Chains A and B, each alone.
Chain A
Amino acid sequence: MSDEKVYILPCSGIGKVFGSIGREAAYIVVDELAKDKTKLECLPLVVKGKKEIIETLKANKVIVIDGCPMRCSYNDITEAVGKVDAQFMSTDIVKERRDLKPEKQIIPMGENAKKLSLILAEKIASKVNELLEENRGGDE
């Protein structure tokens, strides 16, 4: 098993359900779909300037997940780390799947919001594999 990880940083905003969909998707990826290939990292600590975390993110692939057009996670990571390797917006999934209107309730999340999280997670897990392939290609 490789030590190589893709780091996942959701915005985890709680003003609306979209941040929670992104967060749940991140956990599905890290705990289930790409368990040994990914790791969750703490966005506030990056913004705070924690050197060891920033250096780790610079040396690895990074995926950000945002829940609104302010794209806090994308902007924060770009500013602190200098790069983002892939970005996802939970609102894009909501637009793609209008049949699954997310419930407003955040704690606990509703059934549609959970289904949307899984759909988003599957897309993220696929991107994880692509990024790791890129890395292997670069090493050859």
Chain B
Amino acid sequence: MSVKPKIGIIACSGENEIGGTLSRAAARIVVEKLRPDNTVILCQPLFMAGGLERHGGQEERDFAKTHPTITIEGCQEECAKIAVSNYSGPPAATIHVQEIMEKYPELQPESKRELGVAGMKLAKKIAEKIAQKVDELYNI
């Protein structure tokens, strides 16, 4: 039986929109609870970090060159996708948090700082969508 490579999950690290907080919560749910054996968190700030070539820290970029990745975008700017594409190649999939938020208008997060009960339910919905994408990639 061949061992399939882990999928890298890269969440938006932005703080301007609630989508950033949701994307990070969803990423942790996927990696800790839903698909712990198939996924690993890659740190988005490390992808973007200026001068990495000079002070080390290439591991995230190198991992994403040899493994499939899923980026989770907190807003329409697609910073995670751009960062991964620039340094490691295009992600295998991109999840847009805002699209999922629109499907569940009844689940309103409390704030960017604290998602609250409804916000965490929404993060779980986003995480389920990511997990579904992980499964799709594994079945290719």
| Measured CA separation A114–B11 after assembly (Å) | 22
**From residue 20 to 61 of chain B, which have CB atoms closer than 8 A to chain A?**
20, 24-25, 27-29, 41-46, 48-52, 55-57
Q: Any chain B CB within 8 A of the CB of A54?
A: no
Chain A interface residue number, banded: 20 to 34
Minimum CB–CB distance from B73 to chain A (whole Å) comes to: 10
* Total interface residues in chain B, CB < 8 Å: 34
With A14-B28, A45-B77 known as contacts, the answer to whether A79 contacts B41 (CB < 8 A) is no
Q: B83 on the interface (CB 8 Å rule)? A: yes
Chain A residues with CB below 8 A from B14, complex form: 12, 42-45
Query: Is A95 part of the contact surface with B, judged by Cβ < 8 Å?
Result: no
Question: B41: which of A15, A24, A42 is its contact (CB, 8 Å)?
Answer: A15
CB neighbours (8 Å) of A6 from chain B are none
Which of the residues A10, A76, A107 comes within 8 Å of B48, measured between beta carbons? A76
Q: Is A1 an interface residue (CB 8 A)?
A: no
- The answer to whether B131 has its CB under 8 Å from any CB of chain A is no
B residues bordering A, Cβ < 8 Å?
11-17, 20, 24-25, 27-29, 41-46, 48-52, 55-57, 77, 79-80, 82-83, 112-113
